[in-house]
Amino acid sequence: MSIFICFIFLFPLFLILFKNLSPPKQKLPPGPTGLPIIGNLHQLGRFLHKSFHKLSLKHGPVMLLHFGFVPVVVFSSKETAKEVLKTHDLETCTRPKMVATGLFTYNFKDIGFTQYGEDWREMKKLVGLELFSPKKQKSFKYIREEESDLLVKKLSKSAQTQTPIDLGKALFSFTAGIIFRLAFGQNFRECDFIHMERVEELVLESETSVGTLAFTDFFPTGLGWLIDRISGQHSRVNKVFSKLTSFFQHVIDDHLKTKQRQDPSDLVSTMLDMINKPTKSGSLKITSDHLKGVMSDVFLAGVNAGVITMIWAMTELTRHPKVMKKLQEEIRTTLGSNKDRITEEDLQKVDYMKLVIEETFRLHPPAPLLLPRLTMSDIKIQGYNIPKNTMIEINTYTIGRDPKCWTNPEEFIPERFINTSISYKGQHFEFLPFGAGRRSCPGMALGITIVELGLLNLLYFFNWSLPEGMSIADIDMEEVGALNIAKKLPLELVPTLHHS
């Protein structure tokens, strides 16, 4: 028998053997068909959370997309979020390296955008101790109360003249006043190198720079680099970054000049001490890049989310006068009618306000996609293989509107949180305004205190109405933003003093 005949007989056998020996084909998640090179980028609109929402209704809660050459899996249900953030937290808790996040964090020397590992742990521990610990929170209580007084004073002036006030500006000044005094030891209302309005612009510009997709991140070196330069993205981001760096330098120089600070031991002072003394935080030697990286985190993550929440809460309350009435009656009955000042003890007494805040978080999570994660090894979720180095997005916007978890999900009904154990603390995966797992928000307690304090001051001392000629139907609900999603048009309301 010739070799040829042997081959004819043995060939099918080889095929079967080869098929059994070759690795099984991976079952990847479903997703919309993309185009060569750009993948699914052409299917994304202005807001990623809304584009993902629409696509996931068709393709399901585990959906594979391609941003250029980068695979991205979007999770859009309570169950899949739980699998990522709880079951596979350790394998998914690093952050992707992106051009803008690398730049704004001084080469990943921060907490929020840096990769998982020993340095991230050390920085988180240090900032946790200096900014977020219960002891620090207690010692800075007077700052929050002083800023509350200033807010009430400012609103009282508008109430006297019955002029509409841009609540976004008032609440930014309140929140930034607190956060920057805690972290930077500085009150930008009385500062000679920057004005509060400019700080607000810089926060928004920095957030947009970090949150906007850059082609360099999704295309092979060269091509993406070129597109970002031609489109102006590169120069826009770098311009904002250099403004931010020079602002941080002013804050640092001011600390070095002024030894005697008004507010004791802010984060910048503590870190400057660590830089100047040859001390280590665990295995980490703190440098000025770590200091500026953390300042960036405070700038990008610390201020706007709280302001956005308070604005959405006041917007929804204005759109739902019955809820507003019930809330103000509850607050005023519980706290009595002759208080000069809201204290933090009062925050524990106003249960319905907490429900209003929770419902606001459900419908308007400030960071609807949390922050992106990256798989550090191959994982399997709901039977789908998610390979190592896949970018992960959790769409809390979709989860908060999932009819399987929420009745009448598009409606603003704070009462839905009565008699449930569901809380925002990261154990209930249908409700994740602060994320969950290792990368969840370390500023949660501080953020919540500021939101509760701001709203309670607004709602105890003032009644609120729309400017003349405007009705509830005229309230615009359009969104704006990239990293954080805010109400696009300013919320202007007229305050009237309740106890005049």
Nearer to ligand HEM, 137 or 440 (CB): 440
Residue closer to ligand HEM, measured from CB, 124 or 250: 124
Question: Does the footprint of ligand HEM cover residue 495 (CB under 6 A)?
Answer: no
Residue 211 is a binding residue for ligand HEM (CB under 6 A):
no
Query: Per CB under 6 A, does 293 bind ligand HEM?
Result: no
6 is in an annotated binding site: no
Given a contact cutoff of 8 angstroms between Cβ atoms, the answer to whether 248 and 295 are in contact is yes
Find out whether 439 and 367 touch, Cβ atoms under 8 Å: no
Rule CB under 6 A: say whether 453 interacts with ligand HEM: no
The alpha carbon dihedral of 2, 6, 9, 11 has a sign of negative
Q: Which of these ranges, 22-30, 166-174, 365-373, 474-482, lies near ligand HEM under the rule CB under 6 A?
A: 365-373
Contact status: 310 vs ligand HEM (CB under 6 A): no
Q: Residue 87 to residues 74, 83, 398, 437: CA-CA distances in angstroms?
A: 17, 5, 21, 10
Say whether 391 sits in a helix, a strand or coil: strand
Residues 340 and 337: their CA atoms lie apart, in Å, by 9
Query: Which member of 62, 171, 446, 455 binds ligand HEM (CB under 6 A)?
Result: 446
- Out of 297, 316, 346, 393, the only residue in the binding site for ligand HEM (CB under 6 A) is 297
- Give the nearest distance from C-beta 357 to ligand HEM in angstroms: 9
Asked if residue 439 binds ligand HEM (CB under 6 A), the reply is yes
Stretch of 191-199, 275-283, 366-374, 489-497 lying at the interface with ligand HEM (CB under 6 A): 366-374
| Burial (0-12, 13-18, 19+ Cβ within 10 Å), 35 | exposed
- DSSP H helices, 133-222, are 134-139, 141-161, 167-184, 196-211
Among 240, 441, 459, 483, binds ligand HEM (CB under 6 A): 441
Candidates 440, 449, 465, 496; binder of ligand HEM (CB under 6 A) is 440
Give the Cβ contact number of residue 130 at 10 Å: 20
Give dist(CA 114, CA 110) in Å, integer: 6
Q: Is 481 in the site for ligand HEM (CB under 6 A)?
A: no
Is residue 390 a contact partner of residue 28, using CB atoms and an 8 Å limit? no
CB 425 within 8 A of CB 434: yes
Q: Which residues does 477 contact at the CB level (< 8 Å), separation at least 6?
A: 315, 487
Using CB under 6 A as the binding rule, whether residue 224 contacts ligand HEM is answered as no
User: Considering the complex, what minimum distance in angstroms separates the CB of residue 85 from ligand HEM?
Assistant: 7
370: left (phi over 0), alpha (psi -120 to 50) or beta: left
Interface with ligand HEM, residue 96, by CB under 6 A: no
Least gap, CB of 467 to ligand HEM (angstroms): 27
Categorise residue 162: left if φ over 0, alpha if ψ from -120 to 50, beta otherwise.
left
Rounded Cα gap, residues 109 and 247, in angstroms:
18
* Candidate ranges 197-205, 257-265, 293-301, 335-343; the one touching ligand HEM (CB under 6 A): 293-301
Q: Does residue 442 belong to the site contacting ligand HEM (CB under 6 A)?
A: yes
Q: What is the smallest separation between the CB atom of 303 and ligand HEM, expressed in angstroms? A: 7
Residues 107-146 that bind ligand HEM (CB under 6 A): 111-112, 124
How many residues at the interface with ligand HEM, by CB under 6 A? 26
The residues that bridge with 165 in the sheet, in sequence order, are 493
Among 414, 447, 454, 481, indicate the residue that binds ligand HEM (CB under 6 A).
447
Q: Which of 72, 155, 298, 381 binds ligand HEM (CB under 6 A)?
A: 298
Shortest distance (Å) from residue 285 CB to ligand HEM: 20
- Greatest alpha-carbon pair distance for the chain in Å reads 111
Q: What CA–CA distance (Å, rounded) separates 218 from 123?
A: 28
Query: Footprint of ligand HEM on residues 404-433 (CB under 6 A)?
Result: 433
**Signed CA dihedral, 148, 446, 291, 199: sign only:** negative
Annotated binding-site ranges for heme: 441
**What is the binding site for ligand HEM (CB under 6 A)?**
111-112, 124, 179, 297-298, 301-302, 305-306, 309, 366-367, 370-371, 433-435, 439-443, 446-447, 451
